[in-house]
Amino acid sequence: MAEKLTIRDVDVGGKRVFVRVDFNVPIDEGTGEITDVSRIQAVLPTIEYLIGQGARIILASHLGRPQGKVEESMRLAVVSRRLSQILDKHVAATRDCTGAEVEEAVATLKNGDVLLLENLRFYPGEEKNDPTFAESLARLADIYVDDAFGTAHRSHASIVGVAKLLPAVAGLLLEKELRNLGGLLKNPAHPFAALLGGAKVSDKVAMVENIMGKVDCLLIGGGMAATFLQVLKYEVGLSLVEKDLLDTAARLIAQAKEKNIRLLLPVDVVVADEIKAGTKVDVVSVEDIPPDMRIADIGPQTIKIFEEELLRCKTIFWNGPMGVYEIPRFAEGTQAIVRLLAGSQAKTIIGGGSTAEAVAGMGLSEKMTFVSTGGGASLRFLSGETLPGVAVLLDKA
């Protein structure tokens, strides 16, 4: 993919700049307060740069899945309050995205002011990439900036529609994402390991196939390991197996062997009769998984083997937890990997989503080389897919 122009390449002084950000932050249902501000902090370099350059900043984001209608619990006022505290600067919030009141709020912006529009997904036109909705957003601004890598794989109005109507460039976070993830595909330092977990093989097949020629070792844990173990004729009990992907998993095992890639699967696992706290739990060899139990985490021997392999590596990409990390009893595999990577001298790239949440939950995000803000987007990018939100931006050439 061609290198893209960024906010550093255009004159933003005094201009109305529409910045698509990803403020889809977790909110506590009881208190209504934000529980993790990492997505807000990730975009601060772009906002602070634009403030410093005297731009008039219009931030736009989605929050949750309101299905094209107004949901009071998904309003973005809570984000504007928190952003105001972080920036130590008032960030006004509108209760709409388009229309006379919003246009008036934009018209009153002075250089360096920041305004946050209401939740884009309150409008059916957002996810449908409706041209009329895109035009009404584009009318608010002179320049478009995409700094929401987590949604760059979506063809939505605020991501693709508006970008086609205005000079469109990347924000500093998006630039960082493309540089770090792109580096894995172009010139990773070897040995290079891909550590994959999470529930499903289907999410990661295209990515695994695309990086097959670049990695030296492939380590597979999490729920997706069950599909690979079944291919190798192990009993996996009640674990989730994607039966329609058994042939695909077999093909990936064969490809790894053919390309001389070390493929490591669990040798022992934590099994449970139910995936919930307080349930019956055991640690067993993969040869002894009871038919009435399911895999919930990698076992201590597997942790040791994975750690020995990863300590040899100079580049490590990790996407997907090693177990059901939300439940403390099934979090040890994931936490052990986080601790190892936090102390590693290797280049460590965390592939967003629940993996990023696990790292942030342990307060160790800063110890990683880079933590992606886009789970699905990072997988698609590493699969070699063109991301609509990136393709639409102006090329540097």
Catalytic: which of 39, 75, 154, 214? 39
Ramachandran bin of 171, using left for φ above 0, alpha for ψ from -120 to 50, beta for the remaining angles: beta
What is the C-alpha to C-alpha distance for residues 228 and 282, in angstroms, rounded to an integer? 21
The size of the chain, in residues, is 397
Out of 200, 251, 262, 329, the active site residue is 200
Angle between helices 44-52 and 77-87 (to 10 degrees): 70
CB count in 10 Å sphere of residue 256: 18
From the number of C-beta atoms within 10 Å of its C-beta (0-12, 13-18, 19+), residue 81 rates as middle
Catalytic residue (one of 64, 112, 183, 376)? 376
Q: Is 353 an annotated catalytic residue?
A: yes
Taking a C-beta distance cutoff of 8 angstroms, is the pair 12, 51 a contact? no
Any idea which residue has 């932050």 for tokens?
25
Q: For this structure, is 361 an active site residue?
A: no
DSSP 372-391: -S-HHHHHHHHTTPPPHHHH
Say which residue the tokens 């949750």 belong to.
Answer: 64
Which residues are CB-contacts of 170 (< 8 A; sequence separation ≥ 6)?
4, 5, 6, 7, 145, 146, 147, 178, 390, 393
Residue burial 12-27, b: 16+ Cβ < 10 Å; e: rest: beebbbbbbbbbbbeb
* Alpha-helical runs (H) found in the chain: 38-42, 44-52, 77-87, 100-107, 124-127, 131-138, 172-186, 205-211, 225-231, 246-258, 300-311, 332-342, 353-361, 375-382, 388-391
Q: What angle do CA 156, 26, 149 make, to 5 degrees?
A: 35
CA–CA distance, 298 with 276 (Å, rounded to integer): 16
Peptide bond into 191 cis (omega under 30): yes
Among residues 220, 219, 204, 197, which one has the least CA distance to residue 354? Answer: 197
Q: Is 376 a catalytic residue?
A: yes
CB atoms inside a 10 Å sphere around CB 89: 14
Is 276 catalytic? The answer is no
Q: Which of 171, 351, 353, 374 is catalytic?
A: 353
Q: Are strands 315-319 and 192-196 parallel, antiparallel or unpaired?
A: parallel
Catalytic residues: 39, 200, 353, 376
